[in-house]
Amino acid sequence: MLKKLSAEFFGTFWLVFGGCGSAVLAAGIPDVGIGYLGVALAFGLTVITMAFAVGGISGGHFNPAVSLGLAIAGRFEPRNLVPYWIVQVAAAIIAAAVIYVIASGKAGFVAGGFASNGFGELSPGGYELMAALVTEIVLTAFFLIIILGSTSSLAPAGFAPIAIGLGLTLIHLVSIPVTNTSVNPARSTGVALFADTAALGQLWLFWIAPLIGAAAGAFIWKGLLDKE
């Protein structure tokens, strides 16, 4: 179990450090910043690289919503949910702290949103609560369908990390303007602690919506798509 939890820790750390780090450190640089497309690709690359590196040890969840969906789908022991969630959230917080230390080393640093998620005034595109809720539920549900489908025995062997990583990239391309993309409660929690906004007050949505979406995706897969 220690090796599984360690793998989840390092995988989640890399996801938050690589994805949110790209948003904080590289996205907004004038003329040479990577923008939304670069951030979306960074999140996808974190999942691809760590799914190949440690996915065989822990399952490569790196996300409390994914762990819940896999448990509902019968691919993960429910008794391991709480330990996985604790490690995932801890890794996200530590990764966000490392990003903060690096970012604050630049003169004039202001934390601002710090890659956190939000709706209303905290939404990059000004989208309100209902739009954020629907976006996070729908995209997390499809993320679980991608994960369950690409890791099934009927899918081509060895390509699941690529499908999952590209799926997460697409999810970010759609939803960064709406919520700055969560689909991952741990990712949302880590950076919200360091944001200089009201992100913590909106964090509840970025736990509830991804968990609902993950459960929905698991039930859709089991009820309508699973042929194993």
- Of 27-41, 134-148, 192-206, least confident by mean pLDDT is 27-41
CA atoms within 13 A on the CB side of 166: 6
pLDDT reported for residue 26: 92
Q: Is the confidence at residue 62, as pLDDT, over 70? A: yes
Handedness of CA 64, 88, 7, 170 (dihedral sign): positive
* Residue 145: pLDDT band with limits 50, 70, 90: very high
What is the domain count for the chain? 1
CA atoms within 13 A on the CB side of 63: 28
pLDDT reported for residue 225: 84
Q: What are phi and psi of 33, to 5 degrees?
A: -65, 155
Give residue 206's domain range.
Answer: 2-225
Q: Is the confidence at residue 31, as pLDDT, over 70? A: no
- Of 5-9, 91-95, 216-220, 224-228, least confident by mean pLDDT is 224-228
**Which amino acid, residue 199?**
A
Q: What is this structure's pTM?
A: 0.95
Q: What percent of the chain has pLDDT over 90?
A: 91
pLDDT reported for residue 157: 83
- pLDDT tens readout for residues 99-142: 999 999 999 899 999 999 999 999 999 999 999 999 999 999 99
Closest CA to 171 of 27, 39, 60: 39
CATH number for the domain spanning 110: value is 1.20.1080.10
Q: Kindly write down the DSSP assignment for every residue of 61-80, as one continuous string.
A: --SHHHHHHHHHTTSS-GGG
Closest CA to 14 of 70, 69, 53: 53
Q: Is the confidence at residue 165, as pLDDT, over 90? A: yes
Q: Is the confidence at residue 23, as pLDDT, over 90? A: yes
pLDDT reported for residue 147: 97
pLDDT reported for residue 197: 96
* Residue 29: pLDDT band with limits 50, 70, 90: confident
CB atoms within 10 A of CB 224: 8
